[in-house]
Structure 1
């Protein structure tokens, strides 16, 4: 077990502004995934036209995981991986789909002497779809995504819908296209969507599942929020909720780590929220206002098995202490109630301004 964990934690590339971190396991997966796509594209191909046709099929295969659900948190939980890991897979699928589309479209364009407004409308479908895919990837670069995340997210979703529309219209023009794999994918999508919707209904709309949000002011950078539930919810340290407050943001939900932990299910879920722009800024303006209707999905994420170790070192930077507090609470409870004897716990907390601690 330990060698496997070491492979997953050893960094080949550290975290930088545009790339990283890349672990040995992540690099291995990328090589296998990209290599599999290259082999699938080149194996048994007799002509460039045949390769381009296969690239079109491979682009659809790579796009399918991108559309399995509307929330990545749901799929990361389903597959038992962390959200950052699943986001890497999401980006990789998108990049591979774009690569296949560029090759597929580039070869197709060589069969047209020139582009003109006189082209049949059906010939414009793949071109527009390919342009949207490329634009979608470019707008997903970290610079734009981090500066204007909420704008990026809505635009990302809108462009993704546009890709579906134009790709579907393109497929409709292909004679004797084999629709069965696409029907199977649509069935899987509907099944996962129904399961996700059922969990939302159970947590938020089922009798006895009412949740209210109370917001309290701490300082100019931080607010405390408490979700009070009529039905208890079991939360493990490190897990988070995607919360949606209709009175603040009608069409978007936001993830927040639960900063509280109890040995039994909780009816009061504590959140520590750093004020930024957009939703969190609106939430801060509601400080000391109570009884807001809130909906959520989750809990999402995995919890580190801290009880298995004798020496535990916890790191936190600034506001990140919110993710560490539940682990500390659980360890203290374990020492008092479960006989976690002989454990040594160290917390390293880096802060910029001690006056705001």
Structure 2
């Protein structure tokens, strides 16, 4: 049971062990199932012994309370139940964990020292990690804006912070509502820098609870927290982190990034890192292809400034972007590419930055590497094209990394496709953040 009670937050425990959050969540679930299995064995042993079990005895009563708490924990861990109200059920989960831990302590209170040692281990591990976690709490000022149904949070940090590509933070905004002090949510950091950052960018897809409350405050401007004239909502924000493991994407010759909807947020920092690494001769990567499947235009509009920034830094044109939009029109996002002497080219020349449109002189334009399409992406054809291009550009076949942050259907499709290319040095990496 130590993995279940070793700390107040799974992200921090995953960092201590050096494993992804999803891996520690599996450890947490497995440990919980084993604990309940041992509990059932303990109960069956008592029933089989036919010894009396009077509840008037405090030891027996606390044992019953602890056992019921563990059983309820297992039942309420069902993903189907959590889909209705995750925030409420996670607080119930934590409350039941506290009740079960206290009940186990009371149940063992009169036992010999050896059984109680385990309870001491639980308490010591929990208090140690809780104290250590307190040193990783950061204070910041959040500027919150929205683009249709997508929220952008800009955190102005009180001190510079180093965040690696792919890492995330757990964000608290205490003043949002009464219950917000008890609510924290993990969000992938979309911004990236080779050094320390003085501000962090987060993109949020409202689903419910705190995120939906944020969108409501921005659109209604109710109570004393009126939005500023620039459309932003100022808030004091606390966060822990950064958490998570950064993948060594620069070790691959070709990187194919496949994403859908808000999954682009998990790809952006890696995209920036790859472009910087190539320009600074710190990366082996020579080809980067971003395939982005969009249902509607809102997410594209929210991150188009970051995409344009990445394109402007891509001086050697190793990046190509393919956007597939199912509805809303393929002309929605003003994506542009800037060549080495300043000429902007792209799927839409009406740039949001008019000064750059008049910059430079006429030269031979590089090939069009930003393509916007209507419909869905043909992933099988795209994978084959990347394989062929890698063979043509290199005398020796290099390794190909396929990174995905998308829906369950998209990931299932990619798993099946990549499995057929395992002999061709192709690897699939599923990022920690996956959109619903």
Superposition TM-score, scaled by structure 2 size:
0.62
Q: CA offset at residue 237 of structure 1?
A: 1.0
Change (3 A) 1:112 1:92: same
Residue 341 and residue 77 in structure 1: after superposition, are their counterparts in 2 closer, same or farther (change >3 A)? closer
Aligned residue for 2:142, secondary structure, equals: strand
Whether contact under 8 Å (1:216, 1:224) holds in the other structure is yes
Query: Partners of 1:191 and 1:342 in 2: how far apart?
Result: 42
The structure that is helix-richer by fraction is 1
1:180: Cα distance to partner? 3.6
Tell me if the contact between 1:215 and 1:286 (Cα under 8 Å) persists in the aligned partners.
no
Number of the residue aligned with 1:229 = 157
Q: Given the alignment, which residue of 77, 81, 93 partners 2:19?
A: 81
After superposition, the Cα gap between the structure-2 partners of 1:162 and 1:348, relative to the gap in structure 1 and judged at 3 Å, is same
Residue 238 of structure 1 corresponds to 166
1:322 maps to 265
Bigger-Rg structure (1/2): 2
CA gap of 1:234–1:339, structure 2 versus 1, over 3 A, is closer
Residue 296 (structure 1) shift: 0.5
Q: What whole-Å deviation, never above 9, does each CA across 1:239-263 have from its counterpart, x for those lacking one? A: 0000111012011111000111112
Deviation at 1:177, TM superposition (A): 4.9
The secondary structure found in structure 1 opposite 2:163 is coil
**Contact 1:105–1:127, Cα closer than 8 Å, also in 2:** no
- 1:217 and 2:146 aligned: yes
Gap change, CA 1:340 and 1:123, over 3 Å in 2? closer
Q: TM-score, normalised by structure 1?
A: 0.75
Give, in whole Å, the separation in 2 of the partners of 1:71 and 1:137.
18
Corresponding residue for 1:64?
2
Q: 1:167 aligns with which of 104, 114, 119?
A: 104
The CA distance in 1 between the partners of 2:51 and 2:125, in whole Å, is: 41
Structure 1 residue 166, shift from structure 2 partner: 1.3
- For the aligned residues, what is the CA RMSD? 2.1
Q: What CA deviation, in whole Å up to 9, does each residue of 1:159-203 have, x standing for no partner?
A: 001101211111123356543444344333332222111222xx3
Does the aligned pair in 2 maintain the 1:105–1:126 contact within 8 Å?
no
Q: 1:3-57: CA deviations, max 9, x gaps? A: xxxxxxxxxxxxxxxxxxxxxxxxxxxxxxxxxxxxxxxxxxxxxxxxxxxxxxx
2:38 to 100, 105, 109: 100
Contiguous gaps of at least 5 residues in structure 1 = 1-62, 205-210
Q: How many residues align?
A: 285
Deviation, structure 1 residue 283: 1.3
**Helix, strand or coil: the match of 1:96?**
helix
